[in-house]
Structures are given as C-alpha cells and as structure tokens.
Amino acid sequence: MDTVEALEPANDLEQSATDVRTLDIDSLAMVASVARMRRVGVSSQLFGGLPTISVVVPALNEAPNLTYVLPLIPTWVSEVILVDGGSTDDTVAVAKSLMPDIRIVTQSGRGKGNALRAGFTSATGDIIVMLDADGSTLPTEIPAFVGVLLAGADFAKGSRFSQGGGSEDISLFRSLGNLYFVLMARLLFGGRYTDLCYGYNAFWRRHLDVLELDADGFEVETMMNLRALQRGLKVVEVSSFEACRRFGSSRLRAVPDGMRVLRIVLRERLSKQGRQWRARGRLRGRALRRNQQIGLPSLADAAVAEIAGRASPGGAV
C-alpha cells in the first residue's frame, strides 16, 4: 500500500485528483486528513472514519460490456448497484456471475435519468459514484473522484476537456455542441466548467436533496452539473478519459438529446426556483464577506442559516 509520504497533499483540489488515481481507500483517507489538518492548523492524525461508497451503474442490454466494467471497480467500494432498465439479454445474470454481492434494482420508468434516480434512492453509501455500463467511463478513475470528495469537495465532476482528460468516443459535432453549452453555462451561471454534458460524477449522498433531480433522459447529467453549481455546492472538476463503448451502439441521439439539454439550461436559468437559488447565493456571499471583514465566522454561519430559511422555505441545504 502506498504511504502518505509518497504523496504530498496539494493545495489545489484539481491537482489532488490527478495525484490520487493510484491510491487505495486507506491512503486516500490519510492524505485527505493531512490536507484538512494543515488547512485548519491541527497536527496530523489519522482520518477518524472511512466513508462508505456506493457505485451506481445503469444498464440496458449491456451483458458483453460488463466484463470490462465490474471487475475493475475497486474492492474497497462498499456496494455496487446495477439498475436494470428491462434488459432482454443476460445483463443481470452476467452481473451476478461477475460480482455475486451486486445489488440489482429494477428501473420503474425509462431513460438514463430515471435509472440513475432509482439507483441513488437505493444507495446507502456516504458517497455515490456514477458509472456507465458500456465501458466508456473507467472504474480505475474512481479513486480520483473519491479523493477530491475526501479532500473537501461536495461534488466531483468529470471533465474530458480539462488538462489530463480526453475522449476517443466524442464526435466533432458533439464536441462543438458541448462547447456551446459550456459557454452558455458560464454566461448564465458563472463558474469555470470545461465540460457540461458528461456523466461521470461523484458526490456526497447528503446532497441529493439539494440536487432534487427530476430529469429522465441523458439531460440529467447537465441538470446535476448546473444545480450543483447554482445551489452553492463546492464543485471540483476531475480530469477523465472517455473510452469507446466496447460492444453495441450508443443510445445517445445528438440532436434530440441536445435539444433536451438546451431546455434544461434555459429552464434552470429562468425558473422561479432558479431565481430563488441565485438570490440565496448573492445573500450568502454578502453575509460571508461582511462577517469576514469583522472577523465573526460564527455570525456568518447564523446569517447563512437565516438566509436559507428565507430564500428556500423548507428546502434542504
């Protein structure tokens, strides 16, 4: 097992994501604890308790691809949930043969978003990781996503276009479409996203109520990324490489699914709920700046709690 001395904790979370790819969960926890202790000025000590991790894999007729996915999931993952969308091949049987303790959840509706929501609801881990069943998202990158969460992020977002990322699957047309949506998101929502329509994400399960996902199709990935940014979660992009699917053909339809993504972007910007979250963010920023100037962080916390109650009655933070 790698030792803590083998990796100097980086101040930048995105750099940490690159460095921790080869570590196991114990090393990840120790490195994260050292980084946190240094930030708050506390002497180094071992991480108090390891979080549990759930991997959610939506699948529809992906039997031949599972061989390239399930065996590569790290052994320290607490549970793997395969959400079956009504497969007519041996997807479920192959999954059980490759991983006897895998949990099978049957999708009630249709679409990737519906499948992911079913998996998230069933997950019991502290951290949830999304993984595609076609082999395009690499399980070997899970430590990078978990690492930035342990280091303090709320939401680890995969990016094919940040330094260290890439894709052997995306077409020029889809790449230009993604760039258009990235620029639109920056203009309408701020932030520094480099990839908007990529579904390799990980997040703390406690933030599910903040995300409030309700999309059924591929646009759920864009919805997650925008709501994590808009609703004040600490988002860190993780460089990721997208491989070609091993067998079969993709169900992604560039033009129809692109239009669904466009509707999601506009809806998130123009909806009443979106305006409430933006107002909440502005008030929160003002409260933090004001109380930082007078050196009263406890008052800032109280102000934020009061703002949350005013801007989003009954909503989760």
Angle between helix 272-293 and helix 254-270 axes, rounded to 10 deg: 60
Question: How is 48-100 classified by DSSP, letter by letter?
Answer: S-PPPEEEEEEESS-HHHHTTTGGGS-TT-SEEEEEE---SSSHHHHHHHH-T
The pLDDT assigned to 78 comes to 95
Contact by Cβ (8 Å): 135, 246: yes
Residues 6+ positions from 269 with CB-CB distance below 8 Å: 188, 189
pTM (global) more than 0.75:
no
The pLDDT assigned to 250 comes to 67
- Report pLDDT digits (tens) over 60-106: 999 999 999 999 999 999 999 999 999 999 999 999 999 999 999 99
Fold of domain 53-270: Spore Coat Polysaccharide Biosynthesis Protein SpsA; Chain A (3.90.550)
Contact by Cβ (8 Å): 67, 94: yes
The pLDDT assigned to 283 comes to 54
- Report pLDDT digits (tens) over 19-73: 545 556 666 655 555 554 444 343 333 345 689 999 999 999 999 999 999 999 9
The pLDDT assigned to 169 comes to 78
Residues of the chain with pLDDT under 70: 1-49, 250-254, 257, 272-317
* Token pair of 226 as six digits: 């925008």
The pLDDT assigned to 175 comes to 82
Angle between helix 220-230 and helix 254-270 axes, rounded to 10 deg: 30
